[in-house]
Amino acid sequence: MPPSWDGALRCLDDTLSEHVRVYFCATKLDLISESRPRVVRPEVVKIIASHIKAKIIETSSKVPKSADPLFNTIIEDYVSGFPEYQKWSTTLKAKISTMFHHK
């Protein structure tokens, strides 16, 4: 396993609790191909994510709007824990999306 993955797993041991939400964000999605396979197999990530109730999101800075699902998922999860914020979550997501896609 790559050092960053090992570090992430060690961090989970230290911080995991029912009040901590975990997101595995795979970056550089545009680089994956048959000649450049993934370093960490997706099935391994899925097993761990399922066990700790983490979410898996893949992104690439070369693909427009690929970070939107990551930020939208985090916002939705955060807002779901606070009913008073649910009213304006759509507005918040739109503002954040605009900030990251401003030309």
Give the residue-averaged pLDDT of 10-16. 73
pLDDT at 40: 81
**33 and 81 share one domain:** no
Domain limits for position 79: 65-103
Q: How many independent structural domains does the chain possess? A: 2
pLDDT tens sequence across 19-66? 778 888 887 777 776 677 777 888 988 998 888 888 998 888 787 667
**76 and 54 share one domain:** no
pLDDT tens sequence across 78-90? 877 766 666 666 6
The candidate with the shortest Cα–Cα distance to 28, out of 68, 63, 59, 70, is 59
**32 and 51 share one domain:** yes
**50 and 69 share one domain:** no
Q: Of residues 20 and 71, which shows the higher confidence score?
A: 71
Tokens for 75, please give them: 């916002």
User: In angstroms, rounded to a whole number, what is the distance separating the alpha carbons of residues 79 and 59?
Assistant: 22
**36 and 83 share one domain:** no
